[in-house]
């Protein structure tokens, strides 16, 4: 299963469930800027910031001006996909796997960096959890929650 975590900079300084509902419903629309609950980002500028943080990331152009940053270890299969409204982090998830725990810890390092340096909040659609990066402090609890919930979702 490919796990994903979405990161956005809310215009109000706080990400809410209603904002996430709006993004999932209208995120691909041409809605006027005043309706968007999250700030626009410049994918190439944000990619440069992340590359300054971790110069081992491998950049590749994405569709329509988006940028993909791949983790250099292909076994981890971690991808940061930067688009004009934020970042989506993709990685494989296998319940109770030590490799998954390592990948989650690396992903949360990028999440914390983006929160500290850009005000990005994260949304985990699998767990339906919005965070302002404090999950980094309790990453073991987050991994335990993933291991408790995800196997049930995979079998349903």
- Render pLDDT for 7-46 as a digit per residue (tens, 0 to 9): 999 999 899 999 999 999 999 999 999 999 999 999 999 9
Cα–Cα dist 141/76, whole Å:
21
The contacts of residue 5 (CB under 8 Å, 6+ apart) are: 88, 89, 107, 111, 122, 123, 124
Q: Give the residue-averaged pLDDT of 129-145.
A: 67
- Render pLDDT for 59-117 as a digit per residue (tens, 0 to 9): 999 999 999 999 999 888 999 999 999 999 999 877 667 777 788 889 989 999 999 99
Output the pLDDT for position 72. Answer: 95
Domains and CATH numbers, the chain: 2-155 (3.30.310)
């Amino acid at each position: 299963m490919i796990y994903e975590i979405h990161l956005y900079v809310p215009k109000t300084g706080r990400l809410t469930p209603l904002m996430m509902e709006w993004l999932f419903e209208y995120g691909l629309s041409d809605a006027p800027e005043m309706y968007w609950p999250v700030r626009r980002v410049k994918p190439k500028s944000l990619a440069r910031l992340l590359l300054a943080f971790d110069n081992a990331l491998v950049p590749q152009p994405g569709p329509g001006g988006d940028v993909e940053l791949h983790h250099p270890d292909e076994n981890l299969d971690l991808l940061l996909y930067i688009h004009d409204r934020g970042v989506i982090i993709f990685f494989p998830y296998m319940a109770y796997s030590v490799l998954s725990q390592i990948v989650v810890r690396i992903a949360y390092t990028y999440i914390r960096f983006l929160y500290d340096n850009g005000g990005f909040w994260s949304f985990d659609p699998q767990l339906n959890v919005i965070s302002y990066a404090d999950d980094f402090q309790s990453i073991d609890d987050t991994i335990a929650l993933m291991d408790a919930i995800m196997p049930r979702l995979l079998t349903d």
